[in-house]
Amino acid sequence: MAVTPQKTVILYPSLGVGHLNPMVELAKLFLSRGLAVAIAVVDSPDKDSVSADAIARLATDNTDITFRSLPVPPSGSEDHSHPVMRIIDVMHVASPALMEFLSALPAVEALVLDMFCTDALDVAAELGIPAYFFFPCAVGALATMLQLPDYYPGAPCSFKDMPADTVLHFAGVPPIRALDMATTMQDRGSDVAKARLAQYARMLEARGILVNSFDWLESRALTALRSGLCTSGRPTPPVYCIGPLILPGHTGGISERRHACLEWLDTLPDRSVVFLSFGSLGRFSTAQLREMARGLENSGESFLWVVRNPPPEHQSNSILEPELESLLPEGFLERTRERGLVVRNWAPQSEVLRHRSIVAFVTHCGWNSALEGIASGVPMICWPLYAEQRMNKVHMVEEMKVGVVMEGYEQGLVKAEEVEAKVRLVMAPGEGDELRRRIMTAKEMAIDAREGGGSSNVAINEFLADLQKNST
Ligand code: UDP
């Protein structure tokens, strides 16, 4: 008797490890539920594509998941107006390779697309494969983005040209200043804003949207989405909050040693260290780094700080190892040696956040970082930098109440006094205790969501039932 091959769910991330890593966590979740999974990773000659080495490492650490590299031609332009345009262009030229890959597979159950991969909806439609999105950001961001194709074209002007005190009202999320909207959306006439608006509109074509969040954390945004308030009454695809999916503690493979910063943290008391880390791309000018250093020094608290070179416009060697002595104020490293550690470029963030010594997290509000802070029960000081991080900051501070704002980020320079004041505030009783109580509740809710009858488990069951419906 012929054996019917098991149908495979194909995950299709866009460029960069920041998009690949959450997809890998999603793949693990699917595997744990008995699905066969493969991840199709675009291999582009353009910058930002995930390196063959990174894929090989992920494949070694996750032997149950098939990684398939899709070689694609150059996207055609060296000179993109915005880094996101490069991602969109590369994913556009990748469609034929995806089509060829999928056509050669015996049985594909579904295609799960990253939010930048809307072109792949056409591939899925042509092959008759159900397509879902995996949205690696907040439900609040999704709710806002889905409202923009209706709101923005008729708005009086671009967000960047609105008066500084302009506050916008979108269903399901707190009022937001125009300047806190996503950086890609600030200029309505830009290529990137037009391209992203078209992508937001196309998200409604999917059969469902999986979101890396959980119901309790963002119930208002979820209710607005589910009641059609974000799409002017047009049907919104089912939204499945299946998170939080976060990087496991150890990501370096079995052979890699524990990072030295963790050993340093081992020597410090419980809940005594402020951790500062700004995602995979966060960089500051030398002037800003010096303000941060002064603020940390004056706070008198212990700290672990990930420092990178300033961005290329401030310094030509931004990808090299930072020379800390010349970047930071003279004598700073020596004076803070007993209570501070500065790490160059990268620290094992999710493991650091789970360390018992960490008391607060100064974060750029990337969504993975926010979820890692929540899952570790560490209050956050929000210092948004790029993408949709200012929007996340609004949701984290005003809706979720898991952090406070580092004032001055929008002027481009946060003063040492503000860094000192916010570090003191989260360490102190009063507002600090209130934040700690709230984040511990959020942490417990995050655990509950993924367990037994928890909301994220229920959502994944619903998603599986939908897959089943399609294959019968
Ligand atoms: N990260 C890390 N070490 C660092 C900086 C970042 O491990 O020094 C990880 C972090 O734990 C998170 C991811 O990189 O999982 C960053 O994702 P996020 O969405 O927060 O920000 P992005 O880099 O996409 O702006």
State the complex-level ipTM. Answer: 0.99
If you measure from the C-alpha of residue 295 to the centroid of ligand 1, how many angstroms do you get, rounded to a whole number?
23
* Span 325-361, pLDDT tens digits: 999 999 999 999 999 999 999 999 999 999 999 999 9
Pocket test for ligand 1, best of 280, 305, 363 (most atoms within 8 A of CB): 280
413 CB within 6 A, ligand 1: no
For range 110-121, the mean pLDDT: 97
Q: Whose CA is nearest to atom 8 of ligand 1?
A: 346
Lowest pLDDT segment from 20-29, 71-80, 364-373: 71-80
**Tens digit of each residue's pLDDT (9 = 90 or more) over 18-61:** 788 899 999 999 999 999 999 999 988 876 666 677 778 888 88
| pLDDT level of residue 367 (50, 70, 90 thresholds) | very high
Q: In whole angstroms, what is the distance from residue 115 CA to residue 133 CA?
A: 6
The average pLDDT across 439-444 equals 98
Ligand 1, atom nearest to 366 Cα: 20
User: What's the pLDDT tens digit per position in 149-191?
Assistant: 999 999 999 999 999 999 999 999 999 999 999 999 999 999 9
Does 306 contact ligand 1 (Cβ within 6 A)?
yes
Query: Lowest-confidence range among 2-6, 72-76, 249-253, 317-321?
Result: 249-253
* pLDDT above 70 for 97: yes
List residues bridging with 24 in a β-sheet.
Answer: none
Over residues 314-318, mean pLDDT: 47
Q: Is 281 in the pocket of ligand 1 (CB under 6 A)?
A: yes
First CA to last CA distance, the chain: 21
pLDDT recorded at residue 256? 64
pTM: 0.94
pLDDT category of residue 74 using cuts at 50, 70 and 90: confident
pLDDT surpassing 70 at residue 79: no
What pLDDT score was predicted for residue 280?
Answer: 86
Q: Which atom of ligand 1 is nearest to the CA of 386?
A: 25
- Tell me the CB-side half-sphere exposure of residue 393, using CA atoms within 13 A: 26
Ligand 1 proximity of 349 Cβ (cutoff 6 Å):
yes
HSE-up of residue 196 (Cα within 13 Å, Cβ side): 27
Cα 428 to middle of ligand 1, angstroms = 27
Q: How far is the CA of 123 from the centre of ligand 1 (A)?
A: 31
Q: Which tokens hold the place of 13?
A: 């991330």
427: number of CA atoms within 13 Å, CB side? 21
Q: Between 16 and 287, whose confidence is greater?
A: 287
Higher-confidence residue: 312 or 292?
292
Distance between Cα 128 and ligand 1 center (Å): 35
Tokens matching residue 8:
């495979």
Ligand 1 neighbour 368 (Cβ under 6 A): yes
- More confident of the two residues 470 and 213: 213
Q: Phi and psi (nearest 5°) for 285?
A: -65, 165
What is the structure's pLDDT at 254?
Answer: 47
Count of positions (residues) in the chain: 472
State residue 250's pLDDT score. 54
- Give the pLDDT score at 255: 46
Rounded to a whole number, what is the largest CA-CA distance in the chain?
Answer: 77
Which residue's structure tokens are 């299946």? 242
pLDDT of 317 over the 50 cut: no
Alpha helices in 9-111 (DSSP H): 17-32, 52-61, 83-93, 95-104
Of the chain, the percentage scoring pLDDT greater than 90 comes to 82
SS (H, E, C) 312-354: CCCCCCCCCCCCHHHHCCCCHHHHCCCCEEEEECCCCHHHHHH
Q: How many distinct helices (H) and strands (E) make up the chain? A: 18, 15
Beta carbon of 14 within 6 Å of any ligand 1 atom:
no
Share of the chain above pLDDT 70, in %: 94
**Separation of CA 130 and ligand 1 centre (Å):** 30
Map out the domains of the chain with their CATH numbers.
8-248+449-471 (3.40.50.2000), 260-448 (3.40.50.2000)
Q: For ligand 1, say whether the CB of 348 is within 6 Å of any of its atoms.
A: yes
**Distance between CA atoms of residues 165 and 171, nearest Å:** 20
Task: Say how far apart CA 374 and CA 277 lie, in whole Å.
Answer: 15
- DSSP conformational letter for 112: E
Q: Which residue has the tokens 């990501």?
A: 251
pLDDT value at position 392?
Answer: 98
Q: What is the pLDDT of residue 56?
A: 81
- Out of 62-71, 298-307, 341-350, 437-446, pick the least confident: 62-71
Atom number of ligand 1 nearest to Cα 389: 25
Q: Minimal CA–CA distance to 46: which of 67, 71, 17, 21?
A: 71
Which comes out higher in pLDDT, residue 411 or 255? Answer: 411
3-state DSSP: the chain helix, strand, coil percent, rounded to 5? 45, 15, 40
Identify the band that residue 249 occupies on the pLDDT scale cut at 50, 70 and 90.
Answer: low
